[in-house]
Structure 1
Amino acid sequence: MQAISQRDFQKRTERGLSAAGFAATLLTYGPARVGFGLFLPQLRPAFGIEGGASGTIASIGFAGFLAGLVGAGELGERLGGAKPVLIGLICSTLGVATVAFAGSVPVLAAGVALAMMGPGLTWSPFNTLVHDALRNFRRPGALSIISTGTSLGVALAGGAAMVVAWQGVSWRWAWVFFALVGLAALAINARLLSAVAPGRKRERRKDWRSVLHKVAAPLYAVALSFGLTTSVWITFAARAVEDAGGLPGLPANGSAATIFIALGLAGLAGIGTARLRGRIGLAALVAGLMIAAALSAMLIALAPASWPAVMASAALQGVFIMMMSAVLSFWSEQVFAGDGLLGFTAALICLAAGSVVGPAIAGPAYDALGPGLVFLAFGALSAASSTLALPRIVRES
């Protein structure tokens, strides 16, 4: 009887964490994270953003993401349970609402940064909640459902942008909608996590020096490259396509919406990451994903007004983002046996650092050299990073 009761409790916990995590990532890794790049073609004239300012604002936003990642560990140790997740959802909801009503560039930048603190504050805490609350065989299913929220959140953001483009209404209405989504996600998480999340505080983390190993250097380098290239694509791909005249047959700013819808839907392939790793091995998977990112950037550089090229670029980027996020977790567990969560957090910090630097470099370069050279350069960086996935470096467990 006790075994049946425990089994039912695990099922209920798995469903609760999965639903809460799905709702949280729908907002934080959807509109809150990609919204600025998605709406950049409209935000630039609305706020008079010139020169490299768009890159600066994006970097400020990703700095919020980095601050959230760093702060999540401390909040988890001090508060425990679901509180860091709820704080992250509050930040993202307030951030997108701030963007909706922003009247100046500084307020816009503050809203973007606050919105992007949410993804940083929720990522590692949800991994921790799943790790603490569920047995090993239940964790992959829960994490798969949670990660799916990212793809559908990006597609939802793209859909809202498409409605704005076709109906000719202000972009601000889309951000008001995102704020309402945030309130719903916050309510869902407050209700579900109070019932299923462990309430205890986690033990103090090990010293950060425990993750400073030479064997982890390729992992951190790939995470840094991931952050550099993806942040540039998310921030500037839609602008590059719109600046090239947009995709034929779409209204003004409709191309940006289409790109992010395609990115989000293609990202659903990330559900099969573990199975693909089992078939081809982690080293081949890492190398293949870095090449996919390189091709994604190069397609935008070479054919920004071509439907097939742009859709292929968005699809490759969606697969890359979703699968690589899971790969960092796999790789961390392999490098740091017994302390994978701390190693994973260190890899995420490298990712976030790259995300801060990428747009700051690409913004001025975009205006001075044009999008073609910028995307070719970052595509070359991804291609070069694939050499960090040699089997002798990525050892299979």
Structure 2
Amino acid sequence: MNPTLRFGAVGFGLIAVTYGFARFAFGLFLPQISADLALGPALAGLISGGAFLAYCVAILASAALTERIGPRAVAVTAALVAGIGMVGIAAAPGAIPLAGAVMLAGSSTGLASPPMAAAVARRVAPAGRDATNTWINAGTSAGVALSGPIALALGAEWRFAFLGFALAAFALALAAARVVPAGGGRMAETAGLTGILNGGIARLVAASFLTGAASTAIWSFGGELAAIRLGWGTEGTGALWVGIGAAGIAGAFAGRLVARFGIDPVHRAFLALMAAGILGVGAEFASPATAIAGGALFGAAYVMLTGIYLVWGVTALPDRPATGLTVAFLTLAIGQTVGAPLFGLILESLGPDTAVAAFAALGLGGALARADRSAPAVRRRSARFNPRATPCGNQSP
């Protein structure tokens, strides 16, 4: 296999395992986990929010470590942490050990993303970086889609499912050790997140925060909403997850859509689709057909939006790709850290109608943030990785 294709496949697999299994599969199995360990919606929301909080800490550490020790070591660590965390989930006897294991598994996603961005910048020619980045990013959808059939096959045996997920993570650690490039990053990135704030970055922070918060309606509580609205158990929720993941493959085309139409129109369109997906799954009018369709809309929209934020962040800081990605994905996760417990609290106190409507509207609020007000670098791939091009909100050097 072509070395670049092999690298892309391993990156895709690493993101599938860390995001699809270690982070988002918790929402798929949440009804069964809650029943077995006596978790209520508010406590489940706090545990889910803890995973996103761990992500926030991990992605900051990962961005710094990627520049110091290189992408290979950090990518391997991400896979190992995912595996250990999921073994902990499988073995958790109660809420507190579960919370710790969920946080550890969730932190693997923060560890995985920056080394992939840095490795793409090193391994792939500039013209292919958007496509490669968004293809690797779409690994999330593959992991989510695969977790659905596993849930269908295993039913309520969520502990065995997480053990299987852990084995996949350990296998990806071996693959990453062979394929991801080693060596430290460029010195331009050692400043971390200091000195990067500008108008384009500030608007990225606002948009990704709101999107992250809104997405927890499905990622953390999609299974709960399906159980409340439709009485679905593991089988129905597994089918929902298959729909979310399969449609999420569309996110691999984020780079191409942005190159053709620009960030802002693509961003607004997929925020609207995400809101529609949340309503399709959790609104009072939900039916099996709207739930599956809503899951597909949500999956396609969420992975597409993360691809947009990835391109937005890397475009804004073309000489610091890991840092640009960190800004985008860190604020997305901060939104999820806040959103998951907030949704659980509203669901428990005010009911699903209010919670679902509020979070659909929250996601639409991100459309008010524009990627750029004038600079063509955001809108044309030919300028996107040119250090002399005008990045989001900055003046040309």
Alpha-carbon offset, residue 292 of structure 1: 1.2
Matching residue of 1:83: 73
In 1, are the aligned partners of 2:200 and 2:371 still within 8 Å (CA)?
Answer: no
- Aligned ranges 1:302-341 → 2 under 5 Å: 302-303=283-284, 305-341=286-322
Identity of aligned residues (%): 26
TM-score, scaled relative to structure 2: 0.89
The CA distance in 1 between the partners of 2:315 and 2:136, in whole Å, is: 22
The CA distance in 1 between the partners of 2:59 and 2:358, in whole Å, is: 28
Unmatched tracts of structure 1, length 5 or more: 1-10
Alpha-carbon offset, residue 145 of structure 1: 4.0
Asked whether 1:199 is paired with 2:163, we answer no
Matching residue of 2:261: 280
Matching residue of 1:62: 52
Match of 2:161 among 174, 180, 198: 174
The CA distance in 1 between the partners of 2:133 and 2:367, in whole Å, is: 26
Alpha-carbon offset, residue 393 of structure 1: 7.5
The CA distance in 2 between the partners of 1:192 and 1:344, in whole Å, is: 21
Change (3 A) 1:205 1:390: closer
Asked whether 1:218 is paired with 2:203, we answer yes
Matching residue of 1:42: 32
- Aligned ranges 1:219-298 → 2 under 5 Å: 219-246=204-231, 252-298=233-279
Deviates more, 1:61-70 or 1:297-306: 297-306
Moved over 6 A (4+): none
Match of 1:72 among 51, 58, 62: 62
Alpha-carbon offset, residue 237 of structure 1: 1.5
Match of 1:187 among 151, 174, 177: 174
The alignment of Structure 1 onto Structure 2 pairs a total of residues equal to 377
Matching residue of 1:4: none
The CA distance in 2 between the partners of 1:34 and 1:147, in whole Å, is: 14
Alpha-carbon offset, residue 286 of structure 1: 0.9
Change (3 A) 1:362 1:105: same
- Aligned ranges 1:340-359 → 2 under 5 Å: 340-359=321-340
Unmatched tracts of structure 2, length 5 or more: 380-397
Deviations 1:261-303 (A, max 9, x none): 1000001111222222234322111111111121122223324
The CA distance in 1 between the partners of 2:15 and 2:294, in whole Å, is: 23
Q: What is the one-letter code of the residue matched to 2:78?
A: G
Deviates more, 1:38-47 or 1:327-336: 327-336
Matching residue of 2:154: 164
Alpha-carbon offset, residue 373 of structure 1: 0.9
CA RMSD, Structure 1 to Structure 2 (Å): 2.1
In 2, are the aligned partners of 1:92 and 1:118 still within 8 Å (CA)?
Answer: yes
Change (3 A) 1:86 1:359: same
TM-score, scaled relative to structure 1: 0.89
Alpha-carbon offset, residue 119 of structure 1: 0.8
In 2, are the aligned partners of 1:287 and 1:389 still within 8 Å (CA)?
Answer: no
In 1, are the aligned partners of 2:41 and 2:344 still within 8 Å (CA)?
Answer: yes
